[in-house]
Amino acid sequence: MPRRFDQARPFFTLGLVLLVWLILPGVLKRFARLSFYELKAPVDLAASYVGDLQDFWSQKTRTNNELIVAARDLAAVNASYEFRMRDDARLRTEISRLEELLRLPSYGEFRSEPARVVRRDFNAWWQRIIVRKGSNHGILVGSPVVYSGGLAGRVVEVHATTSVVELISSPGLRLAAVFDGDDRPVSFQGGVNPPLRPAQGVLEFVPLDLFATSAAPRSLVTSGLGGIFPPGLIVGQVVQLEPSTDGLFKTGRVLIDERLGRITEVTVLVPIDPSVVNAPGEAAP
């Protein structure tokens, strides 16, 4: 065999593999991807359960006194939450009454599905988590996900026992938000993830009369427009606003809660009406 061809043979083989891959039907590729995913998922699930077991055994080393103090603190927190739940029920009734009175369309209803985080996958290109609940628990693609710091993201893939959530710090997620106390929508996009610092987002189409600085930040919350994310969920703190190049609007930076970087527990808000999340994403203004 000529030496020149012999040298090129690896590339020829790779080209042939690539050609076969390109003409392979999409269904087969999707099947292969799902197979690889389901092959890989048990490894992370097992690691997650082992982590839970470690937590359990480390908790077993606590003394009775420590447990009594923790139970006392928890009782105080529970009392506070019970009061808030009653207040919440009263406010819901009030909202329903006003919606009927003003003939406003009501916001979508959600069912809460708490889930533990199996794996956090944060890099410059995407920020995703895998949670330990999937189609077996009725999770739907597009469902909003919340955590103790506010809005966490949106479910983008659902598998049998796991779901993949794209976080608000990911460049692929855009949503319509409003400044707390203002009703004009602005466009939020995640994706500024500098090293050794909390994630940030980019804000666009901000009206010129709104101001925020790092000394006087303003809260950014979901607008409820588009129907996927319920209104009022905290997205982050706007710490910088400056006029955009066209001078018609302002652009800015949103500091996302640093707890998102060590998120361990989330709640998936599964819509009661599945048609709410059928749309590919919440439209930005």
The residues binding other proteins (CB under 8 A) are 7, 9-11, 13-14, 17-18, 21, 29-30, 32-33, 36-37, 39-40, 43-44, 47, 119-126, 128, 130, 156, 166, 171-172, 189, 191-200, 202, 258, 261-262
Please, are residues 197 and 253 in contact by the beta-carbon 8 Å criterion? no
Token match 């927190």: residue? 77
Distance of closest approach, residue 208 Cβ to other proteins, in angstroms? 21
Q: Whose Cβ is closer to other proteins: residue 203's or residue 276's?
A: 203
Paired with 241 in beta bridges are 252
Distance of closest approach, residue 57 Cβ to other proteins, in angstroms? 18
* Cα–Cα distance measured from residue 127 to residue 156, given in angstroms and rounded to the nearest whole number: 12
- 8-33 burial, b for 16+ CB within 10 Å, e for fewer? eeeeeeeeeeeeeeeeeeeeeeeeee
Three-class secondary structure of residue 272 per DSSP: coil
CA distances from 85 to 80, 82, 111 (A): 9, 5, 16
Distance of closest approach, residue 106 Cβ to other proteins, in angstroms? 34
Distance of closest approach, residue 131 Cβ to other proteins, in angstroms? 13
Please, are residues 211 and 241 in contact by the beta-carbon 8 Å criterion? yes
Q: Whose Cβ is closer to other proteins: residue 105's or residue 195's?
A: 195
Q: Whose Cβ is closer to other proteins: residue 200's or residue 222's?
A: 200
Q: Whose Cβ is closer to other proteins: residue 66's or residue 258's?
A: 258
Q: Whose Cβ is closer to other proteins: residue 43's or residue 279's?
A: 43
Distance of closest approach, residue 20 Cβ to other proteins, in angstroms? 11
